[in-house]
Amino acid sequence: MADHSNIYVALAAAQAEMGKVLKDAENPHFKSKYADLASVVAAVRPALNAHGIALFHQATVTEFGHAMKTILVHGKSDTRIECEVPLMVGRNDMQGYKSATTYAKRIGLESVTGVAPDDDDDGNAAVAGTKNSTTQALRQTFYDSVRDQLPEGATPQQQAEAITDAICAEFANKKIRALNNAWDTHKAMIERISRAFPDLGDRLTDAYEIRKNELTETDIAAE
């Protein structure tokens, strides 16, 4: 094992030896392949361990809510690199939590190691053209965590209905700025759902407008 002075030197050496991130998992909703957590771990862990870097994840709570922390620790120098990814859980049960943590671990691991598939992963299909890769990844985590609650073989309409329910629930009780941000965040998906299932598109628009109308001028001025 090489003798490195700190985590940064060790990580630089490990990055030179990391393997290619293989897109070998199937996303049936978009009929595409993507790199799942196992693929990212397989690409980076051997090189990290060879240079004295331990990798682990830790569930935590920040001022903004629940998050998953990815941590790289260089044992010899006791130096570390950390990355926190917010958990966006589509449904409030353990399956939804497990799905959200899995995607958050993948996002965090890609972030701290600097690896990535050859091109955008399964998030690209839902939010093509976005310039903010972090927002893209978090948004896709939200949609995938919702889909993971559905029975195997769920139809596109059933998936669209589940995502519609989750987005409508997100609109509820938000202040005007957060409401508008939520609309912008989901705009690409809302447009896709509206084209394929106009009635669901109407539900999404109605949920947004109803919440906006509930806000008083005082609420809006307060922001």
pLDDT at 49: 95
**Secondary structure (3-state) at 175:** coil
State both tokens at 160.
Answer: 């669209």
Residue 138 maps to a domain: no
pLDDT at 125: 44
Rg of the chain (C-alpha set) = 20
Residue 5 maps to a domain: yes
Q: In 114-197, where does DSSP find H-type helix?
A: 123-126, 133-147, 156-171, 176-196
Q: Minimal CA–CA distance to 144: which of 205, 102, 194?
A: 102
Residue 69 maps to a domain: yes
Helix 7-15, helix 94-113: angle, nearest 10: 90
d(CA 24, CA 34): 6
Taking a C-beta distance cutoff of 8 angstroms, is the pair 39, 27 a contact?
no
pLDDT at 60: 92
pTM of the predicted model as reported, rounded to 2 decimal places: 0.52
Q: pLDDT digit of tens for each residue in the chain (223 aa)?
A: 678 999 999 999 999 999 888 766 555 444 456 678 888 899 999 999 999 999 999 999 887 788 999 999 999 999 999 999 988 776 667 777 888 888 889 989 999 999 877 654 444 443 344 345 556 666 777 888 888 888 888 898 999 999 999 999 999 888 888 998 889 889 989 998 999 999 999 999 999 999 888 886 555 555 5
**Secondary structure (3-state) at 66:** strand
Overall number of domains in the chain: 1
**Secondary structure (3-state) at 145:** helix
Residue 123 maps to a domain: no
Residue 9 maps to a domain: yes
Residue 187 maps to a domain: no
**Structural domain boundaries, residue 39:** 1-117
pLDDT at 168: 93
pLDDT at 95: 75
Residue 81 maps to a domain: yes
